[in-house]
Structure 1
Amino acid sequence: MDGPGTFVPISARLHPKKTLKSSPESKFWSSFKTTFLTYNLPITSINFCPEPPHDFVVTSSATLFTFDGITFTPKSTIRKFSDVAYSGTFRPDGKLLAAGGESGNVQIFNPKGDPLRRLVGHVHPVHYVSYPHNDKLHILSGGDDGLVKWWDVASETEITTLSGHRDYIRCGSPSPASEHLWATGSYDDMVRLWDLRNTSPVMELGHGKPVEAAVFLPSGGFLATAGGNVVKIWDVIGGGKLVHTMESHNKTVTSLCVGKALVPGESEQSRLLSVSIDGYLKVFDYMSFKVVHTAKFPASLLSVGMSPSSSCRVAGSSNGRFFIGKRKGHKVEPKKDGPDELMLPIEGVGEENGKWAPTKPWHRGYFQRGQTEKHSEGDLVVNQPKRVRVPQHDKLLRKFHHKEAFVSALNSNNPEVVVPVMEELVARKAMVRSVMNLDLEELELLMKFLDKYVTLPRYAGLLMRFAERVLQLRGEDIEGSEELTYHVLRLKGMVSEEIQIQRSLLEIQGIISPILRMAGR
């Protein structure tokens, strides 16, 4: 209990806050710790190798960058394109890379970047290139000429040309259920499904917007497509029936991929990831048709990929940044090659589970126990007391400088600070005197605050009465100043608008109430 003469700092009025329930799955997606790298040019494509350690390739301008799937460090840089490269992708075994280009050619490389094959046939840029799931000898490409081509890589020959799209082809996906079935999406608003044994599409799906991305879901029976700000799920086995439409993005969805949620105590669940130029990444549970996680990034996103092991999630942006999310707690085996390093256990982790942290000779932990190690049972732990920071208005109130405390609170432009100070001054019977002692600049600061927050429902009851009292006390000063008169006119307009809104709400309530009573019968 406070003794005589003890000053108690004022505290903001507490209001109920909406609590968000955190599910085990949301904790899983939130466990990805994100870092970023910058290459200054848009990241148009991200593709993970299906085979461990799941390296990934990033396509940016005329360059392909490959990264280690464990350490996420650069492995190779491929600059063999004379123009813009598109859709860098790994062969299923990870031993070859392929990419399209602005020139219309498809090039094949080894992981070190040595060119091996060049597939010539498209007359316009090739934006989509992909290997089948289990075929190492063939590749599919789609270009701005509206043609889909099926290639024999070894002989550099074109096996089949599929025509049917009437605009640029920008995406596609091989079916995991059939080695012959492919889907391609185009700017003609259509998604077409092809059986490579025929030259005509076996199914056509009208997305309604230029199609930016298409991906088969793991079962092979459903297909997800993205165009505009809409993602649609189609039942392919059921004849192309539209199952669900997701409109959770505000702007164009640019890329889709499938990832896995590894939730402790639950079975592995597949999820659909989407990114948009609104900067958001959405994780979609397509079985229950709901968004289970949302992440905001500080740039427009053009591409997304997730490793098959669910250890890494990468999103590429329009300003050249790509954001690498590494899952916390994911086990990373130390490299066996190279010089031995002193290995110290991480806090709370012992030798029995094999998780160790390398400590370099220039680290303090190399010579003495680090701050992360837990103290022993007999150790004396000295905790440094935290310094309590007293706000400036509390310091002034302690000295009974009431007007100065009020002005200090107004400078914060925060109603959660200003309103408690006002209530304290009212309790001290110093509010009127503080308002009367304000000079014209300080009075204008007060009027700006009232302009902004007088109709805020949480504080309107107090601020409305306070504004009326200020006009009574300082009316002559306000009439003699154009700036203060302007703020009064704004204040009047805001109050009138709020009154009109309240009347409209009452009218709506009067219309709805009889309907609700009739529905209750």
Structure 2
Amino acid sequence: MEYEPAEYQKLQIRQYAPRSIRETAEGKYWRRFKAPIVAKQFGAVSHIDFCPTYPFNLAVTASTRVILYNGLAPAVVGRTISRFKDIAYSGCFRSDGKLVVAGGQDGIVQVFDANSRSVLRQFKAHKRPTRVARFGEDKLHVLSGSDDVTARWWDVSSGTQVLRLDGHRDYVRAAAASPTSPDTWATGGYDHTVKLWDVRAGGAPVLSLDHGAPVEDVAFFLSGSLAVTAGGNYLCVWDLLGASPSGGSGSGSGGRLLKRLDNFQKTVTCVRLSPLAGPDSVAAPRMLAGSLDGHVKIFELDSFRVTAASKYPSPVLSLGLSPDCRLLAVGLADGSLTVRKHARPKALAGAPGMPPPTKTRYQPRLTAANFRYFIRGQNSKAAETDYRVRKGRQAKLQPYDKMLRQFRYRDALDSALSSRQPEVVASVLEELAARGGLGGALGGRDAEGLRGLLRHLVRYISEPRYTRLLSNVGQRLLDVYSGVVGSSPAVDRLLGALRNRLAEELGVQDQLAALAGALEPLLAASLAGAV
């Protein structure tokens, strides 16, 4: 009976986990912001606000002034408002971009003309520094928050106080208006709470949320039913319409904590919601947050996973994103303002004051009557998550495959070493061990063949993905060639280096084992306490 020889199966190179997470389309979008334009201010940049109307000018509050930058040329200073006796706070545009409001260290809230910089109104009821001031959606009112633990609702046309909002027990440092209900406001204070107010209902809060740390910033989601608060080293996302949690209190029935995001090492100072999505869609905005640890991180809003991050050389105090997602501005504690422009700006069609979009060239529909229909997709590149289906053809064997097929184990290992690819060498070593040919591949080598193998072991034995395999091979190699020490100075040096690297790895493993033994009872105790 005759037997046909079995077909040789090509050696499958072992696939290791990537050393770092591959960049996604979302990450690429945020990395397309160009190198920052850095403008040095007179003090720490405490607040950044973009005008909601085209060309989306930028108001930067630093030291005793509010500087207005041109949205089309962010390096150009438009105007500087310096009519403050002391430090200025929270310079913000009105929705039409014609007026600017800002608080001050002296407690006075001032309204300026954005063009002439003249003072139009001054509100003087606050007794301590006013850290936050915002225009209402109706353009006729201003909400301010102060270190005198009050928030106040002002009438711009008459210059009088309409409402005093009492409820906080410490400094009021944040405020935001609901995008769906202009009469609903949220204020955050250093008493760890966020209060929701209806300015039509009087001075009692509608809802109180316990953030658990001094609140530095608050923002509404575009739907108006969710809000995010920043304070401590975490963010809290709240469902304002859900059932009240055990941590919430107040006269309202909402306030369910949806998510707590502990993605920062130091205090989170600012949080913003982007008006557009990341790469291509306008249906899913993103959340941006900055911290004193120097990071600005971008979160997607489905599972609140971090999709991109940027590191700055100083603590981040403020940030802003233009309505068309073209400019990203970040203010730092060292007085630096960094403005980054997107490489491929995406115009926000229909925005107030935005020029009409240009007409696109007519593109005929591709059908079988058009030649381009049959060559479509030839220049497209595969995405990271795509699978490639290859034609059923005979596999092309590499040199080490041919030698393995002929049972030339030593030559197969030499061929793998010559490829200078550690994953190929590891796969060949595993295949030789499985075939029982590792001893033959390692033994009987001259000085030249031994040097190449020793260099590879010394270089890659500390790589975690290869440590287990190469440590075993290295120990076996030392046992085999311990009797030839002294015959070649180059081989002796490499054998000594291999011995030292093995000793270092064994020491590291002992330390890790001791650390694991010390942590095991602590983890067990914490799990028992959680149960």
Same fold? TM cut 0.5: yes
Matched position secondary structure for 1:499 = helix
Q: Does 1:326 align with 2:366?
A: no
- Judged with a 3 Å threshold, the aligned counterparts in structure 2 of structure 1 residues 287 and 504 are, in CA distance, closer, same or farther, namely closer
**Aligned-partner residue type, residue 219 of structure 1:** S
What is the Cα deviation at residue 162 of structure 1? 1.1
2:204 maps to which residue?
A: 200
Partners of 2:293 and 2:202 in 1: CA distance: 39
1:143-192 deviation digits (Å, cap 9, x = unpaired): 00101011112322111111111111110101122222110000000001
- Structure 2 contact 98–113 (Cα < 8 Å) conserved: yes
**Aligned-partner residue type, residue 501 of structure 1:** L
2:50 maps to which residue?
A: 48
Question: 206-215 or 280-289, which moves further after superposition?
Answer: 280-289
Q: Does 1:501 align with 2:481?
A: no
- Judged with a 3 Å threshold, the aligned counterparts in structure 2 of structure 1 residues 191 and 508 are, in CA distance, closer, same or farther, namely closer
Correspondence 1:66-105 to 2 at 5 A: 66-72=68-74, 73-105=76-108
**Aligned-partner residue type, residue 43 of structure 1:** V
Correspondence 1:298-447 to 2 at 5 A: 298-330=313-345, 429=447
1:250 to 265, 285, 307: 265
1:423 maps to which residue?
A: none
**Aligned-partner residue type, residue 276 of structure 1:** S
1:125 maps to which residue?
A: 129
What is the Cα deviation at residue 429 of structure 1? 3.0
Partners of 1:25 and 1:132 in 2: CA distance: 33
- Judged with a 3 Å threshold, the aligned counterparts in structure 2 of structure 1 residues 504 and 195 are, in CA distance, closer, same or farther, namely closer
**Aligned-partner residue type, residue 510 of structure 2:** I
Matched position secondary structure for 1:173 = strand
Q: Does 1:164 align with 2:175?
A: no
1:115 maps to which residue?
A: 119
Partners of 2:335 and 2:316 in 1: CA distance: 10
What is the Cα deviation at residue 294 of structure 1? 1.9
Partners of 1:60 and 1:156 in 2: CA distance: 26
1:416-464 deviation digits (Å, cap 9, x = unpaired): 9xxxxxxxxx98738999xxxxxxxxxxxxxxxx9xx969674587689
1:453-509 deviation digits (Å, cap 9, x = unpaired): 96967458768969x99x9999xxxxxxxxxxxxx9999798445225347769999
1:403 maps to which residue?
A: none
1:6 maps to which residue?
A: none
**Aligned-partner residue type, residue 204 of structure 1:** S
Partners of 2:94 and 2:301 in 1: CA distance: 28
Correspondence 1:215-294 to 2 at 5 A: 215-238=219-242, 239-262=254-277, 266-294=281-309
1:26 maps to which residue?
A: 27
What is the Cα deviation at residue 223 of structure 1? 1.0
- Judged with a 3 Å threshold, the aligned counterparts in structure 2 of structure 1 residues 457 and 272 are, in CA distance, closer, same or farther, namely closer
- Any stretches of 5+ residues in structure 2 without a counterpart? 1-14, 243-253, 348-357, 362-421, 423-443, 452-457, 487-498, 521-531
What is the Cα deviation at residue 42 of structure 1? 1.1
- Judged with a 3 Å threshold, the aligned counterparts in structure 2 of structure 1 residues 428 and 229 are, in CA distance, closer, same or farther, namely farther
- Structure 2 contact 45–317 (Cα < 8 Å) conserved: yes
Partners of 2:144 and 2:519 in 1: CA distance: 57
**Aligned-partner residue type, residue 319 of structure 1:** D
- Judged with a 3 Å threshold, the aligned counterparts in structure 2 of structure 1 residues 273 and 142 are, in CA distance, closer, same or farther, namely same
- Structure 1 contact 184–214 (Cα < 8 Å) conserved: yes
**Aligned-partner residue type, residue 25 of structure 1:** E
**Aligned-partner residue type, residue 222 of structure 1:** L
Matched position secondary structure for 1:151 = strand
1:189 maps to which residue?
A: 192
- Structure 2 contact 296–309 (Cα < 8 Å) conserved: yes
What is the Cα deviation at residue 115 of structure 1? 2.0
Partners of 2:17 and 2:339 in 1: CA distance: 36
Partners of 2:229 and 2:134 in 1: CA distance: 17
What is the Cα deviation at residue 54 of structure 1? 1.1
- Judged with a 3 Å threshold, the aligned counterparts in structure 2 of structure 1 residues 240 and 460 are, in CA distance, closer, same or farther, namely same
- Structure 1 contact 98–108 (Cα < 8 Å) conserved: yes
Partners of 1:428 and 1:83 in 2: CA distance: 81
- Structure 2 contact 268–292 (Cα < 8 Å) conserved: yes
- Structure 1 contact 280–301 (Cα < 8 Å) conserved: yes
- Judged with a 3 Å threshold, the aligned counterparts in structure 2 of structure 1 residues 428 and 224 are, in CA distance, closer, same or farther, namely farther
What is the Cα deviation at residue 100 of structure 1? 0.5
- Structure 2 contact 192–214 (Cα < 8 Å) conserved: yes
Equivalenced residue count is 392
- Judged with a 3 Å threshold, the aligned counterparts in structure 2 of structure 1 residues 207 and 507 are, in CA distance, closer, same or farther, namely closer
- Structure 1 contact 221–235 (Cα < 8 Å) conserved: yes
- Structure 1 contact 46–314 (Cα < 8 Å) conserved: yes
**Aligned-partner residue type, residue 39 of structure 1:** K
- Structure 2 contact 93–100 (Cα < 8 Å) conserved: yes
Matched position secondary structure for 2:510 = helix
1:174 maps to which residue?
A: 177
Question: 163-172 or 72-81, which moves further after superposition?
Answer: 72-81
- Judged with a 3 Å threshold, the aligned counterparts in structure 2 of structure 1 residues 86 and 462 are, in CA distance, closer, same or farther, namely same
Partners of 2:335 and 2:445 in 1: CA distance: 57
- Structure 2 contact 60–67 (Cα < 8 Å) conserved: yes
TM-score (norm 2): 0.64
- Judged with a 3 Å threshold, the aligned counterparts in structure 2 of structure 1 residues 56 and 79 are, in CA distance, closer, same or farther, namely same
Matched position secondary structure for 1:260 = coil
- Judged with a 3 Å threshold, the aligned counterparts in structure 2 of structure 1 residues 170 and 158 are, in CA distance, closer, same or farther, namely same
What is the Cα deviation at residue 89 of structure 1? 0.2
Partners of 1:57 and 1:301 in 2: CA distance: 17
**Aligned-partner residue type, residue 329 of structure 1:** R
Partners of 1:159 and 1:243 in 2: CA distance: 34
- Any stretches of 5+ residues in structure 1 without a counterpart? 1-13, 333-350, 355-415, 417-425, 434-449, 475-487, 510-521
**Aligned-partner residue type, residue 184 of structure 2:** L
Partners of 1:352 and 1:233 in 2: CA distance: 41
**Aligned-partner residue type, residue 246 of structure 1:** L
Question: 153-162 or 186-195, which moves further after superposition?
Answer: 153-162
Matched position secondary structure for 2:34 = strand
Matched position secondary structure for 1:77 = strand
What is the Cα deviation at residue 264 of structure 1? 6.1
Partners of 1:316 and 1:203 in 2: CA distance: 31
What is the Cα deviation at residue 234 of structure 1? 0.9
1:369 maps to which residue?
A: none
What is the Cα deviation at residue 107 of structure 1? 1.2
1:442 maps to which residue?
A: none
Matched position secondary structure for 1:33 = coil
Partners of 2:100 and 2:181 in 1: CA distance: 23
- Judged with a 3 Å threshold, the aligned counterparts in structure 2 of structure 1 residues 492 and 44 are, in CA distance, closer, same or farther, namely same
What is the Cα deviation at residue 31 of structure 1? 1.9
